[in-house]
Amino acid sequence: MDDLKKLPIKSKLMTVGQFREDGILNLNYYCGMKRAPNKAKTSKRPAVQKSPDNPLKREGTVGNATGSISNSVNQEVNMKRGPGFIPSDAVLKPYVSKRKRKLPKSGGGFHTDNEGETGRTGETIVGSKIFTLNPTVASCIRRKAAACKLPRQRSQSYHLHTKAVTSLGWNNPQYSHLLLTSSLDSTVRVWDCFSGKRCVRTIDCHQKGVKAAVWTSDGESILGGGFGKTVKLTDAQYNKTFQEFDHSSFITCLGLCPSDPQLFLAGTDGSAVYCWDMRIGEIVHEYTRKGQLGQILALEFIPGRDEFLMSCDFVCRNSDDRNIMVVDMRTTAILSSQIYHEKYTCPALRAHPDGSIFVAQSNANYAAIFSTQAPYRLNRRKRFEGHQVEGFQIGCDISPDGSVFASGSSNGTLYFYNFHSSDVIKTIPAYESASTNIRFHPVLGNMAASCSWDGQVTVWT
């Protein structure tokens, strides 16, 4: 025992891991128990004899049972490898939140036990993990935002939508490998544009065509609505709808409040915009005006302020009233309703990343530039023209660095403009039908996604 005390700590741990005379491993010492082994209780056990067939294998009888100590040897080896060692037969289960644990585990299209498997149609089985940080996206998030580079080629093309695609949008930067699209074929789809390059979710809870769909602030749920007159909040991981918001008219556009992620705006065909609180499931504000506003075409929040822009299809002769309006979200006051002095509707609105100006897509076949400060003046020296808008609800977008403006066109071509000079710097003949929308990737400067009236979704790099 004196020689044992002279050894270093590591040698002591290797030495005390010995078998007692009865052939049973003293695991109490390994588990950190300071109490010394009680030899008086174990001395009554029968001695262990070596097997004549295999001298390395020891067999013994305890009562009427005969067993081998090979399992004890394996436990000793695992113990010696350190406290952080994980045996090869161990099963690790991922953490599941309380809300996810309340969802049903089987039935109704749920397959939570088959994570990572793929169905026959190429679509990932519901319940597989899709919210992971892609290595390519992660490296770009850590670095400084790169300058926008125009896409050069068609990277991916999807044809699962059978009718016109009405909206599309990338997820939050940490999950920006996922692309969301809605269509008039009553479906909302989620596409993995990096690893799987396929549709990973098909949300078919809507009974009629879907006009708009957006990601929630956490990037794991989807708000969608359309001709079914109901906005549905769906968990994208498990394809489970857990909240519905009914309206008296069909939904035309949606917008998530940046200052309070639990509030969202729903534009309708009934001349009104409603502000819903997802925590209580009730309307907290209603934005309307005496007289008809017509259909609400677009909604856009002004960055850094609790004010939003909305455009209507109410256009009367010799009047520019109620075409584009600025509304205070908290007080419901209309700050301005005489901004665009043309007799054309504006199907899309986009705010510049710096929050100083916004762009309105006009059915006069150009995009106008306005200031976000009162009195919201029109820039008469510069506008983006060359693409065709009339006849379709054509969307547009501004690159994350604010240097490029992009727009779809009713002739199927994608147009890219220099934002500072308003010159056309590139055109891409993309579709035979109208290109209805385009969105820049929030992290990668050379990637964009577009969609068409015939149901195609394309990723450009």
pLDDT score for 132:
84
Helix (H), strand (E) at residue 55: none
For 340-354, the pLDDT digits (tens) are 888 889 999 999 999
What is the pTM for the complete model shown? 0.72
Residue 274 has pLDDT above 70, yes or no: yes
Averaged over 380-397, what is the pLDDT? Answer: 94
Give 279 or 93, the one with higher predicted confidence. Answer: 279
pLDDT at 209 exceeding the cut of 60:
yes
User: How sure is the predictor about 90, in pLDDT bands with cuts at 50, 70 and 90?
Assistant: low
**Predicted pLDDT at 126:** 54
- Give SS3 for 13: helix
pLDDT per residue as tens digits for the range 97-149: 666 665 544 333 333 233 333 333 445 455 568 888 888 788 777 776 667 88
Strand partners, 325: 310
Cα 366 from Cα 418, distance rounded (Å): 14
Within 269-356, strands assigned E span 273-277, 282-287, 296-301, 307-312, 324-328, 334-336, 348-351
The DSSP annotation for 345-411 comes to ---EEEE-TTSSEEEEEETTTEEEEEESSTT--EEEEEEEESS--TTS---EEE-TTS-EEEE-BTT
Pick the more confident residue, 142 or 28.
Answer: 142
Tell me the pLDDT of the chain averaged across its residues.
79
CA distance 175 to 173: 5
Residue 302 CA to residue 14 CA, distance in Å, equals 67
Average pLDDT on 209-229 reads 95
Q: Report, as an integer, the average pLDDT of 43-66.
A: 44
More confident residue, 147 or 303: 303
Distances (CA, A) of 108 to 111, 115, 326: 9, 16, 44
Residue 87 is predicted with a pLDDT of 54
> Among 122-131, 156-165, 363-372, which is the least confidently predicted range?
122-131
Least confident of 21-25, 202-206, 298-302, 367-371: 21-25
Provide the CA 15 distance to its chain's centre, in angstroms. Answer: 54
Tell me, rounded to whole angstroms, the distance of Cα 438 from its chain centroid.
18
Query: In which residue are the tokens 């009427």 written?
Result: 64
Phi-psi category of 261—alpha, beta or left, where left has phi over 0 and alpha has psi -120 to 50? alpha
Q: Position 362: which residue type?
A: S
Average pLDDT over residues 223-235: 95
CA distances from 456 to 77, 164, 217, 426 (A): 58, 8, 27, 21
Region of 107 on the Ramachandran plot (φ > 0 left; ψ -120 to 50 alpha; else beta): left
When pLDDT is cut at 50, 70 and 90, the band that residue 68 belongs to is very low
- Reply yes or no on whether the pLDDT at 324 is more than 70: yes
What is the average per-residue pLDDT within 311-334?
A: 80
- Averaged over 315-331, what is the pLDDT? 77
Collapsed DSSP state (helix, strand, coil) of residue 311 = strand
Percent residues over pLDDT 70 in the chain: 70
Q: Decide if pLDDT at 417 tops 90.
A: yes
Q: How far is CA 452 from the centre of its chain?
A: 22
Between 255 and 195, whose confidence is greater?
255
The confidence score (pLDDT) of residue 293 equals 81
Phi, psi of 138 (to 5 degrees): -60, -40
Query: What per-residue confidence (pLDDT) applies to 16?
Result: 40
